[in-house]
Amino acid sequence: MNPRSASTLFAAACVAAASAAHALPLSDRASFELFAGGSIATPGTFREAASIDGPDGSTSFNRLDFGDVYSSGYTGGAEFDYAMDSHLSAFARAAYSQFNGANRQVGALFSETDGHMPIDARFGDAHTGTLDIGARYSFTAGEKWHPFVGASFGASRVSEMTAMVSEPGGAPTTRVELGRASTVFEQRAETGVQFSPMENFDLRLTAAASHVDSGRPSGDTNLGLLGLDEENRSLVRGHWNFPAEIGAVWHF
């Protein structure tokens, strides 16, 4: 999905949502949530371990997982819900997720003359901005505690992924672009529990699994410094994220 298509789709969704909100009474049906949380895990592999022979010696690359590159992250956003009945609700959700880049030894050059020379990389921070729509089903109605399940889909704007690689032997650092900024599809499934301490206010605890599709590969000629080649350039973009969130919900 290119940015122009995503913008058109979002504009159409806004018009449809505005029409629905005008046609349907909001009293006792609408709610607004502010939420925040962080990633429990971000599985996914940039590449497996590999060894490459060259004129200066043998270069060994470590297995490089998504969790190795991004050490931690957080998410936050807002959601608007409309209850179709006592169990089923539809929602529109906007979220921002930040992933903090880490410093990693990605491999080493083994030379007969210079011995073991490490290859280090400092990965830049990355982020995504997501707009999606979905539905949520609550298993109990009118109780203080009610568990739920839900699903949604939408579009995510994924920032570029970069790294500064220190080549072996004291060479200058080189900037490597792993993936360009892209607008991609995102799918999410969730479960959790909602607690109602008072009539117009709830607390919602959510555990989710979110998948962001692959975007545009970078085509950077320096990808070989990280052990990446033409065949796996696009694999670094798509990934899973497992966030845990807590939200405050206000009912209209």
Per residue in 157-180, pLDDT tens?
989 889 999 977 666 789 998 888
First CA to last CA distance, the chain: 35
Question: How far apart are alpha carbons 163 and 88 in whole angstroms?
Answer: 44
* pLDDT digit string, tens, across residues 4-33: 444 444 444 444 444 444 444 555 789 999
* pLDDT digit string, tens, across residues 86-110: 899 999 999 999 989 999 999 998 8
pTM value is 0.80
How many domains in the chain?
Answer: 1
The H or E element that residue 206 is part of is: strand 201-212
Domain holding 44: CATH number?
2.40.160.20
Question: How far apart are alpha carbons 252 and 250 in whole angstroms?
Answer: 7
Domain with 59 in it? 3-251
Question: How far apart are alpha carbons 239 and 117 in whole angstroms?
Answer: 31
